[in-house]
A and B are shown apart, each in its own frame.
Chain A
Amino acid sequence: MAITSIKNLKEFSTNNDRFEGAHTLCPGCAHSMIVRELMNCTDDNLVISSNTGCLEVSTAVYPFTSWDTSWIHIGFENAATSVTAAQVMHKVRKKKGNLKDNDAPVKFVAFGGDGSTYDIGFQWLSGAMERGHDFTYICLDNENYANTGGQRSSATPVGAHTSTAQAGTHSYGKKQKKKDIVSIMAAHGSPYVAQLAPNKWKSMAKGFQKALEVEGPCFINTVSPCCTEWKFDPKDTINLTDLATDSLMFPIYEIIDSHELNILYRPKNPISVEEYMAAQGRYKHLFKPQYRHIIEEVQKDVDAKWDLLQRREEARL
Chain B
Amino acid sequence: MAQELNLLATDNRGQSQLEAGMNLAGWDEVTQGTVLTSFEGDATGIANKKAEERTYSDFNSYTASVASWRVQKPVFNRDICIDCQNCWVWCPDSSILSRDKQMLGIDYDHCKGCEVCVEVCPTNPKSLLMFNEHADLEESLAAWPEKKKKEKK
Which A residues contact B (CB, under 8 angstroms)? 9-25, 27-33, 36-37, 42-45, 59-69, 101, 198, 201, 234-239
Contact = CB atoms under 8 A, between A and B. Distances in A.
A228 to B, nearest CB: 12
A119 B66 CA distance: 33
Contacts of A15: 47
B109 to A, nearest CB: 7
B61 A68 contact: no
B62 A21 contact: yes
Contacts, number: 141
Nearest to B71: A27
A292 B86 CA distance: 37
Contacts of A60: 36
Contact of A19 (B2, B90, B94): B94
Interface of B: 2, 5, 7, 34, 36, 38-39, 43-44, 46-51, 54, 58-62, 64-66, 69, 83-86, 88-95, 98, 100-101, 107, 109-116, 118-120
Contact of B61 (A22, A30, A234): A22
5 contacts: A13-B85, A22-B61, A28-B114, A63-B59, A238-B116
Nearest to B57: A65
A151 B100 CA distance: 44
B119 A67 contact: no
Given A63-B7, A68-B60, A18 B89 contact: no
A63 B5 contact: yes
B109 A22 contact: yes
Given A10-B101, A21-B94, A198-B90, A67 B38 contact: yes
Nearest to B96: A13
Contacts of A29: 92
Among A19, A43, A235, chain B packs the most CB atoms within 10 A around the CB of A235
Q: Interface on chain A toward B: helix, strand, loop, or mixed SS?
A: loop
Contacts of B116: 28, 234-235, 237-238
Given A19-B94, A32-B92, A198-B90, A14 B100 contact: yes
B110 A101 contact: no
Q: Interface on chain B toward A: helix, strand, loop, or mixed SS?
A: loop
Contact of B64 (A30, A33, A64): A64
A12 B59 contact: no
A68 B38 contact: yes
Contacts of A61: 61
Nearest to B38: A68
Contacts of A238: 90, 116, 119-120
Given A21-B95, A22-B62, A36-B94, A9 B85 contact: yes
B66 to A, nearest CB: 5
A25 B43 CA distance: 26
Contacts of A45: 47
Among A22, A25, A59, A101, chain B packs the most CB atoms within 10 A around the CB of A22
A27 B91 CA distance: 10
Nearest 6 interchain pairs by C-beta = A21-B110, A27-B114, A235-B115, A28-B114, A43-B47, A27-B112
B49 to A, nearest CB: 6
Contacts of A36: 91-92, 94
Contacts of B65: 22
Nearest to B83: A10
Nearest to B118: A235
